[in-house]
Structure 1
Amino acid sequence: MAFGKGCHLHLIDGSAFIFRAYHALPPLTRKSDGLPIGAVSGFCNMLQRYVEGNAGGDVTHLAVIFDKGSHTFRNDMYDLYKANREEMPEDLRPQIPLTRRATEAFNIACKELEGYEADDIIATLSVQAREAGGQVTIISSDKDLMQLVGDGVEMLDAMKNKRIDREGVFEKFGVYPDRVVDVQALAGDSVDNVPGAPGIGIKTAALLINEFGSLEELLDRAEEIKQPKRRETLIEKRDQIELSKKLVQLDCETPLDFTLDDLEVKDPDPDTLLGFLKEMEFRTLTKRISDALGVEAPVIPDTTPEGADPGGEDAPEMPAIDPEKYECVSDMAALERWIAKAHDRGWVAVDTETTGLNEMTADLVGISLCVEAGEACYVPLTHKTGKGGDDDLFADKDQDALAEGQIPLDDALAALKPLLEDPSVMKIGQNMKYDAKIFARNGIAIAPIDDTMLMSYAMNAGQHGHGMDTLAERYLSHTPIPIKDLLGSGKSMITFDRVPIADAVKYAGEDADITLRLWQLFKPQLHRARVTRVYESMERPLVPVLAEMEMAGIKVDRNTLSRMSSAFAQKMAGLEAEIHELAGETFNVGSPKQLGEILFDKMSLEGGKKGKTGAYATGADVLEDLATEHELPRRVLDWRQLSKLKSTYTDALQEHINKDTGRVHTSYVISGAATGRLASTDPNLQNIPVRSEEGRRIREAFVAETGKVLVSLDYSQIELRILAHVAGIDALKSAFRDGQDIHAMTASEMFNVPMEDMTPDVRRQAKAINFGVIYGISGFGLARNLRIPRSEAQGFIDRYFERFPGIKDYMDDTVEFARKHNRVETLFGRVIHTPEINAKGPRAGFAKRAAINAPIQGTAADIIRRAMIRMPDAIRGMPAKMLLQVHDELLFEVEEDGVDALIAAARDVMEGAADPVVKLDVPLVVDAGQGANWAAAH
């Protein structure tokens, strides 16, 4: 059919599909000859999903558009265009022509043009289709294509299943599509190396274009700009900005050697398509497409060499996610059928729905199960008839009655308990620690478990988040049903027990379905990523240990906290008086705006910088710089610390005391930090300052029950010991072996001061450098820590590296490894990805410091994880419980007559935690203390 009114053209950005497929899947090779095929497999799956999703739709014309080569007319215009693009990965290069062949095998038009980018072809086709009266959907999220949107042209972000129209473009750029190129010309593009106007970003560019109407008008009237720097940039860089516009403007008149009519949708030829898939040895995809086409699948011989890994493309091929197909289990017969299905399969994905996020107070509402991708059920248990929320204020008295069609809670749990505790059936969850605690409160000890969140964390720490929505979008190209759609928000927000059962079935069933799919995808990848040992020995076994600690909680004395709050308030008032005296007037110390005016207008201190609101920046970094030379900012920093301690701890901690247990139950996040360090939330007990007197006093509120004491065991300088080992610093290793004061020894080496003449101040400086170096501290940072001039601080660091050259060598080698491999590793094999390591600008410095520190901090985190996992067996039978972990410290509650035995057992576990995997050149030393409260025990 000739293209015209009523026609709908879909244009797929081929490069986006390829790179998404390449990065989303692990490296795969063809079994017969080792040819890389991971990207081809992902590309074919994406094409098939596209075809299935648009079957019977209004698409009349379709093409996949590719880039022909790296050199285009833009390189002739500007030789540095895309100059900083990384080389294509070696294993992707041979797959590029195969993706063209795949497109043709699907009988989809495959187009590219020498000297032009795919975006230019897409632009030309979009304009032609629009002028012919048709509609266009561009399947891409590339911001460069947003200039085409409008008048019948829209974009579809397939990853998020989100359509982008004119308003969507405005949301992204702050201007409508006809002015996108003007904004891009000003803002530039670091990815494509488009220079733009230095110092002007997207937001500022949009403001300027909206004010002046167009780029040309702005440049012609640049003299009117009030800000001197911006005005100079626009005038001096005019040629560069105009060149940038030419680089970002798409060519809508690309000389094509085909017409819109050539892009008419055609059915694939089964022999051609299946022949290609057979050649690639895609067994599961071949079967799926054969079934869809209604023909017999060709036989693909198994060419796996003897002893080789039979994985590869045969990661499970899965049906589309369809929440309408999930089953509502409303009677015991149906539940027993699902339980039998799980027993037969040997695994089951499990998810709980509850009334809240706090596992210690939330009630169980329902349970979802999945044993095969696409086959899931939801077992509603305590859904109510009323809506809840503010809308239910005047509802009838039966609003808390249970909704019909639910199995009694006790009956369902009694039936599920044998399955959930059966050692022969693997229970799979996403963040299983949450569900384990919910089940534990209902009398079920769920085991054994696998956790998709922790699998992702073991493989991808540092690359992206590990929440289910992120993983589903990234690895399954699926956006889960948002919880907000069910619960609402604000005052009208309801709890899950008020969600209609029919809606809950779709949401909860999808959670279990997605979890199973992620598990089937991730499980075989663990060994390919070489993190099986990390996952199985340090991630998964930690779940029950932490769950038990969190449920135990720690007693907090409310009266002590109240007294501290009052004391902090008094001390803050005293500091305020001192600050006002130093300032020569009263002002609101808590107001950054007023503080900035005092520091930079009245006192004329250097370093004042105003933000967009016109107020001076007075963040901690600014005040710490000023505090190296001035008293007032020092006092403000002290006041702010007290203010934070009061609001975050002495006031807020009282709200976290559980009314049933009288204890505070923090929750640990295993996957929070890329290095393997645990994070603590609701409340965060890991950020209580230990170096300030006030911070130490807060620990006095954490107390032991009557007849018991708190015992603290703390690794002594574990990160410095690891640094001495990995960097091979003989002087440090000898000092640790001999039990010397390491900070005094460092000071003696650096400043040529005999140990017997060491002053506390010199030792303090050496201590700050010792710990600072681990974090890649700069002269600026050390100056802030010690409140000394930067030049003096930098001199300390220079002298340190002269005395211990091995440390500098370790740092340089680590950064070089990270830049080459985009990752670093701990001594135990934990992989920490460093995606920003080759970035430019301020991010580069941060990424470099993080890469230097990660193997050290990560190894320390691994060691204490290993100790925690071994601890329950070591202290079993003792009158003791492990309550808290704070970085290098473990806190126990123990009966008074069991203290000595607990310390001996726990110290033995902690000091030997690296064995037998890693033999350190320095001993691990654990300090122990005990007392009626945490401060006394530390």
Structure 2
Amino acid sequence: MPQDPRILVDASSFLYRAFHALPDLRAPDNLPTGAIYGVANMLRRLLKEYPSDEIIVIFDAPGGTFRDRLYPEYKAQRPSMPEELRAQVSLLYEWIRAMGLPLVIEPDVEADDVIGTLAQTAAPDQEVLVITGDKDMAQLVSPRVRLIDTMKGVATDVAGVEERFGVPPERIVDLLALTGDKVDNIPGVPGAGPKTAAKWLTQYGDLDGVLAHAGDIGGKVGEALRAAAHYLPLSRELATIRCDVMLPATAYARREADVTTLRALARRLGFHAWLKDLPVDETGEVPEKQSSDIERAAYLAITTVEALNALLFTLKTADVVALDTETTSLDPLHADLVGISCAWQAGGDYQAVYIPVGHRDGSPQLDRQTVLTALRPWLEDPQTAKLAQNAKYDWRVFWRHGIHPAGLLRDTLLESYVFNSSHNGHDLDSLAERYLQHQNIRYEEVAGKGKSARNFADVPVVEALPYAAEDADVCLRVDARLWPQFASEPGLQRVLMEIEMPLVLVLARMEEAGVKVDRVQLEVLSTELSKDMADCEQKAFVQAGQSFNLNSPKQIQEILFDKMQLPVLKKTPGGQPSTNEDVLAQLAVHADLPRLILDYRGMAKLKNTYADALPQMMNPDTGRVHTHFQQAVAATGRLSSSEPNLQNIPVRTEQGRRIRQAFIAEAGHWLLSADYSQIELRIMAHLSKDARLLQAFAEGQDIHAATAAEVFNLAPGAVDSAARRAAKAINFGLIYGQTPYGLAQQLGIDQAAARQYMDRYFERYPGVLAYMEQTRILAKQQGYVETLFGRRLYVPEIRSSNPARRNYAERAAINAPMQGTAADLIKMAMIAVDSWLQEAPERGRMILQVHDELILEVPEASLAVAQSVLRERMEGVAELAVPLLVELGVGRHWDEAHS
């Protein structure tokens, strides 16, 4: 039988490739895991594809090698290993050893030299496969040695080396000496590329032959060759892979995998999908998906007064209790209580119960009012600590039933979000898998889905018990895993406990309050939009020379690109010409039809999303629209809203303003708007400490006019509205990391002019440029940036080898501290304003937050005081190097107040 091949894995090269290529993967404790995942996954695939007995994994050893002594500049330009990569190396070693693979790390030589030696010392009849993406390894190729690049799926043999490099494997070292290697800092002949070097070697045999005929080679490259002749032998020595390393007399055969360690590491690192692929352990049992210490069978249903009284005693004496509700609706304004779950820890053991109060299956259960009356003192006691997952919902459910809980300690949804906002999913099911390696019972498993879905009140108590109690149990356990992580992160702890947690009940009150909407005005606007859309449609038909469906991207593509032959500026992932808004806006320069399509789409969005939808969303009991605010969605910390989304109402069009005009005050009240003025530019001034920006804000100058004067070399009095608009685009564009191309598109100028404006801006505001560069460097070093108040925003793509992804990440790194700080400020302002409002309910109520704006609904008698307090609290919420400025507006409707 033929002998199994010896497979040599150049793991160091794959380590860096995986680190830079993969997205930001993290373990439950936030440890970066992308490099571990990339290398381990490559090895898993390798084991499946090549079930050989000899698979040897080789890494570079830390420290210098003999090459550094030969040439101190060797690899001297390489940066040190990033900390986020260094943190992964030891765990990767542990994973590889647990796989049963030999791991070789030899001091004073490189992994290449170990690979060369192991290739040379393989049995004479044994094939050798070198798993690598390093071109230097081509010198090892022979009739029995091949290179395999598993990431690219490319295999290279002797013929492949000659085809790629133009020389056989034995001449690769001479080729590398002549061309040099920028990565390794090996000097070559300036101007001599691979083709030139291959030509010389073909003509003169080897490096010695080339040097012997150096005088025969003319031109500048010949002069460069002769000038380089004295160091080329050293370059050859540096590029030569040693095949005579003295390695320990060790057997390199694979061992049995340590399944127990692999399983523990998979859970530790969050590689849950790999667990099912692992073989059975030494007991012969496949591990259950459910965590071993979560026992659903131990959950109790509280169905008697005696059991409820015993539970109350336990709840009052517990250090902390996780609380959860089951209801008839996801909308807390309509949600009737079906049951309450509680979980606590006693004597080191987790315990959880479910109190059913609204199931319709006839099972024994306590009366809802009896339970609420009994629980009220504990629920409303601020001294009894409570945990929840998405507490805003549960608290509003209790409010609906006349209970006002106190003592909210932490919310696991927000703990996860603040700890790492870029994690995919902060719902309880995701947190259970991420932090407990546990799979919750899914809601659909209990209540069904689609046509078979049933209200939770119709779920029998016996089926509801494990699902409901588990939610409280898992919430308590997730907090026990997450909260200790904040001990070493004071910035994150401050964001969680001083910003996000106090905001929970502020948002709950705002959602309860809602905002009054003028149904009649929206109906009138809907009719007008229908007419305007029909007019726009007819104009589009005239421009196209035919009728077509303005809602069909396919028909629009055919007319714009096939019939009208407009340029294709961008393609969809499916390869079709794009007709998105950016493309249509650019095409509108060439023809009227793209502008008409844009106008039609804008009107359709207003009609469908607002004019028609808002009246349907009005609560029949309150006559108001109650949006839902989400804290744990935007990575920057910005709030978002849904049902309806009030963040994206267009305000630059008359029709968009008409939508805002439909948001009105109750009779006898005013809407009071408070908007932070140019908040992100002020934050930029604070962060960058640029002298001119600081002076402009300190003196109360119009910052856009001041920028126009600086960039366009104008006297302050000579700045007109056009120059100010252009300066405003530059100010905000640069904050968002805009490129010359983007600025040129926005201003309608060529890229050269846009570049000149940007260069002049940075000349006049050098502190801004310095801040941007420092932020890029810091983000690359640590993998994240922070807001002024400690919120952390991860930007892992900043190390990507893909230029587009890296550039995007750099822009995000520059902008995120400003957007995130602005988000923190508005949240802190909401907390400060709400505390004043709660002192006396007759002062009014906060009803909306959109971007940097707060909207209050205030009784006419309180208006003057509310204006004064609102400005004072918002401007005094933090002290920056420049003053915070709030612009106030008052009106009977939102547009009037915002104007």
Q: TM over 0.5, yes or no?
A: yes
1:414 pairs with 2:378: no
1:905 pairs, out of 869, 872, 876, with 869
Question: Hey, what's the Cα distance between the residues in 1 that align with 2:622 and 2:470?
Answer: 35
Check conservation: 1:378, 1:505, Cα contact below 8 A: yes
Q: How far off is 1:896 after superposition?
A: 1.0
Unaligned ranges ≥5, structure 2 = 1-14, 38-53, 62-78, 106-110, 112-130, 132-146, 157-250, 265-282, 284-290
Question: Hey, what's the Cα distance between the residues in 2 that align with 1:780 and 1:91?
Answer: 39
Residue 883 of structure 2: aligned partner: 923
Change (3 A) 1:821 1:20: closer
Residue 300 of structure 2: aligned partner: 327
Residue 854 of structure 2: aligned partner: 890
Farther off after superposition, 511-520 or 454-463: 454-463
1:459 pairs with 2:435: no
Check conservation: 1:874, 1:906, Cα contact below 8 A: no
SS state of the match for residue 355, structure 2?
strand
Question: Hey, what's the Cα distance between the residues in 2 that align with 1:196 and 1:491?
Answer: 53
Change (3 A) 1:381 1:921: same
Question: Hey, what's the Cα distance between the residues in 2 that align with 1:696 and 1:863?
Answer: 26
Question: Hey, what's the Cα distance between the residues in 1 that align with 2:412 and 2:258?
Answer: 42
The AA in structure 2 aligned to 1:512 is A
1:588 pairs, out of 549, 555, 571, with 549
The AA in structure 1 aligned to 2:392 is K
Farther off after superposition, 528-537 or 549-558: 528-537
Change (3 A) 1:564 1:511: same
Check conservation: 2:339, 2:354, Cα contact below 8 A: yes
1:437 pairs with 2:400: no
Give runs of aligned pairs for residues 625-640 of structure 1, distance below 5 A.
625-640=586-601
Q: How far off is 1:750 after superposition?
A: 1.1
Q: How far off is 1:612 after superposition?
A: 6.9
Question: Hey, what's the Cα distance between the residues in 2 that align with 1:21 and 1:695?
Answer: 41
1:867 pairs with 2:856: no
Change (3 A) 1:258 1:93: closer
SS state of the match for residue 541, structure 1?
helix
Give runs of aligned pairs for residues 525-924 of structure 1, distance below 5 A.
525-530=485-490, 531-607=492-568, 611=572, 615-841=576-802, 842-875=804-837, 876-877=839-840, 878-914=842-878, 919-924=879-884
Question: Hey, what's the Cα distance between the residues in 1 that align with 2:895 and 2:442?
Answer: 44
Q: Deviations along 1:90-133, whole A, 9 cap, x unmatched? A: 455556777899x7xxxxx9554659x9xxxxxxxxxxxxxxxx
1:352 pairs, out of 319, 325, 328, with 325
SS state of the match for residue 680, structure 1?
strand
Question: Hey, what's the Cα distance between the residues in 2 that align with 1:345 and 1:408?
Answer: 25
SS state of the match for residue 410, structure 1?
helix
Question: Hey, what's the Cα distance between the residues in 2 that align with 1:480 and 1:67?
Answer: 40
Q: How far off is 1:922 after superposition?
A: 1.0
The AA in structure 1 aligned to 2:480 is Q
2:27 pairs, out of 19, 23, 38, with 23
Give runs of aligned pairs for residues 174-573 of structure 1, distance below 5 A.
192=151, 257=253, 320-372=293-345, 374-385=350-361, 403-449=362-408, 450-530=410-490, 531-573=492-534
Check conservation: 2:100, 2:254, Cα contact below 8 A: no
Change (3 A) 1:732 1:111: closer
Check conservation: 1:534, 1:830, Cα contact below 8 A: yes
Q: How far off is 1:352 after superposition?
A: 0.7
Question: Hey, what's the Cα distance between the residues in 2 that align with 1:21 and 1:752?
Answer: 48
Unaligned ranges ≥5, structure 1 = 1-14, 28-37, 44-64, 73-82, 104-108, 118-143, 145-184, 198-254, 267-272, 274-292, 294-317, 386-402
Question: Hey, what's the Cα distance between the residues in 2 that align with 1:265 and 1:828?
Answer: 42
Q: How far off is 1:670 after superposition?
A: 0.9
Q: How far off is 1:610 after superposition?
A: 5.5
Check conservation: 2:96, 2:103, Cα contact below 8 A: no
Q: How far off is 1:557 after superposition?
A: 1.1
Q: Deviations along 1:889-920, whole A, 9 cap, x unmatched? A: 11011111211100001110000011xxxx31
SS state of the match for residue 453, structure 1?
helix
The AA in structure 1 aligned to 2:876 is G
Check conservation: 2:611, 2:659, Cα contact below 8 A: yes
Change (3 A) 1:714 1:332: same
SS state of the match for residue 651, structure 2?
coil
The AA in structure 1 aligned to 2:354 is Y
Farther off after superposition, 545-554 or 86-95: 86-95
The AA in structure 2 aligned to 1:735 is A
SS state of the match for residue 666, structure 2?
coil
Change (3 A) 1:568 1:791: farther
Question: Hey, what's the Cα distance between the residues in 1 that align with 2:259 and 2:520?
Answer: 77
Check conservation: 1:463, 1:833, Cα contact below 8 A: no
Give runs of aligned pairs for residues 113-124 of structure 1, distance below 5 A.
none
Q: How far off is 1:346 after superposition?
A: 2.3
SS state of the match for residue 847, structure 2?
strand
1:934 pairs with 2:894: yes
Question: Hey, what's the Cα distance between the residues in 2 that align with 1:816 and 1:912?
Answer: 32
Q: How far off is 1:795 after superposition?
A: 4.1
The AA in structure 2 aligned to 1:565 is S
CA RMSD of aligned residues (A): 3.6
The AA in structure 1 aligned to 2:464 is A
The AA in structure 1 aligned to 2:835 is D
**Percent identity of paired positions between Structure 1 and Structure 2:** 43
Q: Deviations along 1:811-854, whole A, 9 cap, x unmatched? A: 12112111111110111111112222222333223222211111
The AA in structure 2 aligned to 1:424 is Q
Question: Hey, what's the Cα distance between the residues in 1 that align with 2:851 and 2:831?
Answer: 15
Change (3 A) 1:457 1:610: closer
SS state of the match for residue 797, structure 2?
coil
Change (3 A) 1:22 1:828: closer
Per the normalisation by structure 1, the TM-score is 0.67
SS state of the match for residue 588, structure 1?
coil
Check conservation: 1:711, 1:891, Cα contact below 8 A: yes
Question: Hey, what's the Cα distance between the residues in 1 that align with 2:306 and 2:30?
Answer: 41
Q: How far off is 1:20 after superposition?
A: 13
Check conservation: 1:351, 1:367, Cα contact below 8 A: yes
Farther off after superposition, 476-485 or 745-754: 745-754
Give runs of aligned pairs for residues 149-160 of structure 1, distance below 5 A.
none
The AA in structure 2 aligned to 1:70 is F
Change (3 A) 1:843 1:360: farther
Structure with the greater alpha carbon radius of gyration: 2
Change (3 A) 1:335 1:632: same
Residue 314 of structure 1: aligned partner: none
Q: How far off is 1:797 after superposition?
A: 3.0
Per the normalisation by structure 2, the TM-score is 0.70
Residue 395 of structure 1: aligned partner: none
Q: Deviations along 1:618-674, whole A, 9 cap, x unmatched? A: 112221332344433223222211211111111111221111111111111111111
Q: How far off is 1:932 after superposition?
A: 0.8
SS state of the match for residue 796, structure 2?
coil
Change (3 A) 1:434 1:95: same
SS state of the match for residue 23, structure 1?
coil
Question: Hey, what's the Cα distance between the residues in 2 that align with 1:639 and 1:334?
Answer: 63
